[in-house]
Amino acid sequence: IQVVTPLDESRLRTELTQLFDKGFRSAAVLLVHSYAFRRHEEAVGRVCKEVGFSQVSLSSQIMPMVKAVPRGLTACADAYLTPSIARYLETFQAGFDKGLSDVELLFMQSDGGLSPVA
């Protein structure tokens, strides 16, 4: 793989800091060729975390496939929904003895499968 344009982390950090200062706390990251070369997308995610974003969704981790549009849509949905779902699960578990720590808590997925909370 040949990197044509290196990632400018200094500029990225400046622009992410501006977004963070405006109140953004979740970030969805999509770089078109991250299905084949994840390092830049992972670096963007790392800088997002360093700036202070509490939720960072990388398209290459969530949906590792060639098609950029579905990856981007999935990353955006994940970045938007994950903080709300995490808060819901915290309050849900807090309503039970020991926060359900001694129970395997599973949720049904849209495909009918079961998924652990963690």
Query: In angstroms, rounded to a whole number, what is the distance separating the alpha carbons of residues 62 and 14?
Result: 26
Query: In angstroms, rounded to a whole number, what is the distance separating the alpha carbons of residues 26 and 88?
Result: 17
- Residue 31, token pair as written in the block: 């770089």
> Can you give the residue ranges of every domain in the chain?
9-116
pLDDT score of 99: 82
pLDDT, one tens digit for every residue, the chain (118 residues): 888 899 999 999 999 999 999 999 999 999 999 999 999 999 999 999 999 999 999 999 999 899 999 999 999 999 999 999 999 989 998 988 888 888 888 989 889 999 888 6
| Cα separation values, 104 from 4, 6, 44, Å | 48, 45, 34
pLDDT score of 51: 98
**How many other CB atoms sit within 10 Å of the CB of residue 110?**
5
- pTM for this model (two decimals): 0.84
